[in-house]
Structures are given as C-alpha cells and as structure tokens.
Amino acid sequence: MSLKRDEKGQVGIGTLIVFIAMVLVAAIAAAVLINTAGLLQQRAQTTGKEATSQTSTGLTVMSVNGTVDGTNDTVTDIGMVVKLRAGSEDVDLSKAVIVYTDKDTHAELTYGTTANHSAFAVVSEQDDDSSFPVMNSKEDVFMIKLNLADIRAGSDSATGDHGLAEGKEATIKIIPETGATTTYTITVPDSVNGLTQVDLT
C-alpha cells in the first residue's frame, strides 16, 4: 500500500505568509500616509494663522492734523491719530518704521522721543492699561508726530522754509515689525492763509 504526501498544508502556509506580508505593507503605507497628512495639516494651519496675522495686523489712520507756518503758509508738523485694525494683534510702535515721501524728499524714520529729520514721536491719547508705546487694545488711541520741516530739510531744527507748501502732497507709510503696511497720502489745501491748524484727513 503506497502513501501520498499531503501538500495542501504547505500551500496554505505559503498563502498565509503572502497575505500577512501584504497586510504589513499596507499597514506601513497607511501609517506613512496618515503621518504625512498630519504634518501637512499642521503646516497648513500654521501658515494660515501666520497669513491671517500678517493681513489683519496693522493700523488704521483716524485723522491727520497739520500745523501751519503762517509766515510761509506751509505745513511744518503733522499728527496722525491711529488705532488698531479690527482683529489686529499687538503693534509695538517703538519697533515700527515710517517712510515719508514727497516730490523732493524721501526719508526713513525710526521711533524717538522727539520728532525730527530721522525720527517720529508718539503720544498716547487713550491707553487704559498703560501699554505705551505698544498698542494692544482696540481702545488704544495714539498720535504719531512728524516734523515735516526737519524731514524735508534733512536736519534738526531746520532754518528757513522747509514745510510742505500749499497744494503739495506726501505719502506716509507706517511699517510695523509684524503685519501689514499702512499707506496714507496727505494733501495740503490750495490755501492755508490765516490758519494755524489744518485738517489733512
């Protein structure tokens, strides 16, 4: 009587090994995909948050007032009243840069205690939590002061007439350390004769 080998068990084990290998490969691939998707989602959230902060953070110019030199009928100093934009994060004006440009002059100004040819000054008009010079609340109201006569002359306490003349305009850019640039254009009225202050809003 002859006996035959039963090979069915070996075939079944081979199939099981292949199946287990496929499952392991699929599991590893799924883990890699899940991990990659998580990293991409985290990066997307971070990028979105930074982009929102950059676009929403900044200042709104509420009004601009100019001081008139009655002798020469020019605007020698201006004060810009500013507030935070809706949804803005804190803005530290001591770290801001202001760029002044008119037909004849271009100057970059940094924060200082006195407004002159190279610096702008800031005055707190409303600051409930004494955060000055940091604007950290929508209730904060500060005034940025620029000495146009010194800026246009390129020196402190300029002698002679260096103010912005009647009908002339200038562009002022307020660039915070983080956030969007605020650009504002002022135009001196065609006549300031007899005025000591003029609204440039």
Res 55 pLDDT > 80: no
**CA-CA-CA-CA dihedral for 159, 164, 167, 171, to nearest 10:** 160
CA distance 116 to 152: 10
How many CA atoms lie less than 13 Å away from 43 in the CB half-sphere?
6
User: Who has greater pLDDT, 107 or 12?
Assistant: 107
Q: What is the pLDDT of residues 96-147, one digit of tens each?
A: 999 999 999 999 999 999 999 999 999 999 998 999 999 999 899 999 999 9
Please, which pLDDT band fits residue 18 given cuts at 50, 70 and 90? confident
pTM for this entry: 0.73
pLDDT at 157: 60
Rg over alpha carbons for the chain, rounded to the nearest Å, is 33
Compute the distance between CA of residue 14 and CA of residue 112 in angstroms, rounded to an integer.
Answer: 81
Cβ atoms of 180 and 195 closer than 8 Å? no
Q: Could you report the per-residue pLDDT of 156-178, keeping only the tens digit for each?
A: 665 667 899 999 999 999 999 98
What pLDDT digit, counting tens, does each position of 70-102 carry? 899 999 999 999 999 988 899 999 999 999 999
Task: Report the SS3 class of residue 27.
Answer: helix
Q: pLDDT at residue 13 above 80? A: no
Type of residue numbered 174: I
- 30 pLDDT band (50/70/90 cuts)? confident
- Which DSSP letter does residue 95 get? G
**Which pLDDT does position 46 carry in this prediction?**
57
Q: For tokens 């912005």, what's the residue?
A: 164
CATH number of 59-199: 2.60.40.10
Which of 28-32, 46-50, 190-194 ranks highest by mean pLDDT? Answer: 190-194
**Strand, coil or helix: 93:** helix
Query: Taken in order 53, 55, 60, 61, is the CA torsion positive or negative?
Result: positive
Asked if residue 179 has pLDDT above 60, the reply is yes
Contacting residues for 80 by C-beta, under 8 A, at least 6 apart: 61, 63, 64, 143, 144, 145, 146, 172, 174, 184
Q: Provide the 10 A C-beta neighbour count for residue 194.
A: 8
Residue 52 above 80 pLDDT? no
- The residues spanned by each domain of the chain are 7-56, 59-199
